[in-house]
Structure 1
Amino acid sequence: MTGASVAVPAHPQRIADLWFAHNEVLAMLGAADRIVVTVDRPANQPWLFRLNPQLSKARAVMPGTASAEALLADSVDLVFVSAGLTRAGSLREAGFPVLDMTFQDVGGLLRSVALTADVLNDSVARDRAASYKARLEADLEYFQKSLSSVSEDKKPRVLHVMSLSPLLVDGGETIIDQWIRYAGGRNAAGSLHGVKRPVTMEQIQVWDPDVIIIQGGVAVPNQGNAPAGWDALRAVREERVFANPVGVFPWDRYGSEFLLQLRWAGALLQPDLFGGYDLKGGMKVFYQTYFGRDVSDDEIGRMLAGQPPG
């Protein structure tokens, strides 16, 4: 992803994936059973392990703690990292092929999927990557064309809240900002750049967003646990606060379920344009096509509610 050249095994079989988001990419491309070391855990990503039970055999490590000695003992032949979580220099010095998969936008997501498929070097990975690319590019074109006649003042101002305590929001130049805009909204925090930006309630009150989306897995505040000043916000008064769905990875962050996030957010922000889409049916097709798994109606309901598996 950085443009550096890395010599990799022709058919890697024992992978250490040390970036949370990239484990989903490997699973989507049919390689969950090749992951022998992971930073993910069932408690943090329960749907990842529900749909890919073979991942439970991998050794779990804390981010940034994987040592070269331990990876050698695990017979690892390929390592994926995010530079923000893992210092890869010592791993490279020990002879491991290390690929930094960090990306910030939807173009990076597509490059990550394509590069990973090339590295895995098998027909399942290449076919799924090609199918995913075609589907996502077609959807992006559809959303852009559908919104071409919608003026900016008809697009709701959306605040995406990553955490309530402390208050953290996602700003511009992020994949979160992109799905908000593709789905027909305006990022209320767009003047900030980057993810997980600290803000005050006073700043949120100045923005006074039309819609607030709470990151999947974070409980929507109620009268008993809401931050001071929360009830004064327009979105709260008008009951326009929503919990984001959660799947194999949080839909709203840096994962392949960006496809589903677009459809969910589009129906929420521009119901006249996108409200007719059968999201539940689309979810069944998505998880079967890209993860080879059938999901039940109950599982779909729990994902949409931001809840873990039953």
Structure 2
Amino acid sequence: MKKITRRSFLAAMAAVSAAGVLTACGGSGNAASSAAASESASVSSEAVSSAASADETGTHTVIDHGGNEVEVPNKVTRVVIDQIPILSTYMAYFEGSAPYIVGYCGSFKSVISDTVLKNIAPELTESSDTVYAQSDLNIEEIMKLNPDVILYNAGNSSHAEILKASGIPSIGFATVGASTEADPLERYEEWLKLLEDIFGEPGKTEAFVAAGDEIVADVESRIADIPESDRPSALILWKYSDGVPQVSGNGTFGTYWMKHLGVTDKALEATGFAQTSMEQVYSWDPDILFLDGPGLQPLRTEDVLSGNVDGADFSTLTAVQNGRVYNTTLGMWNWFTPNPDAPLVLAWLACNTYPDAFADYPLGDTIKEYYKTWYGYDVTDDELEEMLLY
């Protein structure tokens, strides 16, 4: 398959434009799974297309992931982000920078400190204006920041009511529990598309999305050739606190990672981010244990393999005995949640799940090329090692 680069894409688009045809597509090739998403794709794109040529003092209509019609300024230069982990996707939208952000969820700053995002967009860590912790909302402090728009979690109805009452244009972004499936490989594309609508730039991220889809297609074609008998079982430990494991059950981001990998998801009988017991984990006894690590829990692979986990003994698990414990990394963001590294996440998961089938897969080179091309950032060997071996 021919590789898609920013240069080749722009050249193709220039030729199309000269022929008088304009294509505006910012999402994935998958069909919309709800009427609201479909309406947003058609109506909102039309609105922002006209907004692009409108007076900067005017407004345009955006339909967010909650189905709300929001009047947004044509010129957005002050953004507040509340309780939606979209900072990395926002940076990817701006190809390696994070302009216009005047405030964001304070708890995200500690997450950023463990990622390469702090190096790509240091302005995020240098900002002193944050919006408290992830679960808090102080609308008075937000209004002092004089934002043009607020980006928030569409699933948080209490925040939505407060933000709507403020009169500040507030746009909801879907996470889990939305009308569309919580597939991280689709969700980050939906986020990019909604950012296109907000900033009046339809089609801006089409080449980026296409390049990611190309990586995914390559990985999934390799997985498709693996016999069912060679496919392991797996479990995602989402969090571990005070002796209580919390797994990534049915309907969460983890469900879809397991589906893309073609493995047996041991936690599929659980619902949501479910608290369970170590006895249940022993009963599931996965061939592979994935840790949703930095940013959500402090566990490292070596902690589990060496038995250095307070209140829990993982040593009897098949995954531990065979050394098949892997910790999702903090490349651009926590890799199990929606983020612009999602295609790389699938490649990383596949390389660890099927080491023989992916023995020749150039994961390190793929990561470096992706970051250089789309984020304008040269990943160092030390950073790459941290991503792959956490």
- TM-score, scaled relative to structure 2: 0.72
Residue segments in structure 2 that go unaligned for 5+ positions in a row: 1-64, 176-181
Aligned counterparts, 1:1-310, within 5 A? 1-30=65-94, 32-39=98-105, 40-46=107-113, 47=115, 48-55=117-124, 56-57=126-127, 59-61=129-131, 62-84=133-155, 87-103=159-175, 104-105=182-183, 106-122=185-201, 126-127=203-204, 129-165=205-241, 166-194=244-272, 196-217=273-294, 218-220=299-301, 221=304, 222-225=306-309, 227-306=311-390
Bigger Rg over Cα:
2
Distance in 2, matches of 1:212 and 1:89, equals 39
Alignment RMSD: 2.2
Q: Structure 1 residues 146, 280: closer, same or farther in 2, change over 3 A?
A: closer
Could you list the per-position Cα deviations for residues 93-118 of structure 1 after superposition, in whole angstroms to 9, with x for gaps in the alignment?
12111111123223333211111122
Q: Secondary structure at the match of 1:3?
A: coil
Q: Secondary structure at the match of 1:168?
A: strand
The number of aligned residues is: 302
Q: Secondary structure at the match of 1:232?
A: coil
Shift of 1:249: 0.7
Could you list the per-position Cα deviations for residues 111-145 of structure 1 after superposition, in whole angstroms to 9, with x for gaps in the alignment?
1111112212348xx43x21232123333333443
Contact 1:180–1:265 (CA<8 Å) still a contact in 2? Answer: no
Q: Secondary structure at the match of 2:217?
A: helix
In the alignment, residue 120 of structure 1 is paired with which amino acid?
A: F
Distance in 1, matches of 2:374 and 2:128, equals 21
Distance in 1, matches of 2:84 and 2:163, equals 18
In the alignment, residue 38 of structure 1 is paired with which amino acid?
A: Y
Q: Structure 1 residues 210, 164: closer, same or farther in 2, change over 3 A?
A: same
Distance in 1, matches of 2:90 and 2:162, equals 24
> Which stretch of structure 1 is more off in the superposition, 97-106 or 80-89?
80-89
Q: Structure 1 residues 167, 131: closer, same or farther in 2, change over 3 A?
A: same
Q: Secondary structure at the match of 1:212?
A: strand
Contact 1:210–1:240 (CA<8 Å) still a contact in 2? Answer: yes
Q: Structure 1 residues 213, 227: closer, same or farther in 2, change over 3 A?
A: farther
Q: Secondary structure at the match of 1:36?
A: strand
Contact 1:167–1:200 (CA<8 Å) still a contact in 2? Answer: yes
Q: Secondary structure at the match of 1:160?
A: strand
Residue segments in structure 1 that go unaligned for 5+ positions in a row: none
User: Percent identity over the alignment?
Assistant: 23
Q: Structure 1 residues 161, 11: closer, same or farther in 2, change over 3 A?
A: same
Q: Structure 1 residues 151, 277: closer, same or farther in 2, change over 3 A?
A: closer
Could you list the per-position Cα deviations for residues 160-210 of structure 1 after superposition, in whole angstroms to 9, with x for gaps in the alignment?
11222231110122222222222342211112232x311111111111100
Distance in 2, matches of 1:236 and 1:226, equals 16
Contact 2:226–2:357 (CA<8 Å) still a contact in 1? Answer: no
- TM-score, scaled relative to structure 1: 0.89
In the alignment, residue 281 of structure 2 is paired with which amino acid?
A: I
Q: Secondary structure at the match of 1:114?
A: helix
Contact 2:66–2:154 (CA<8 Å) still a contact in 1? Answer: no
In the alignment, residue 51 of structure 1 is paired with which amino acid?
A: I
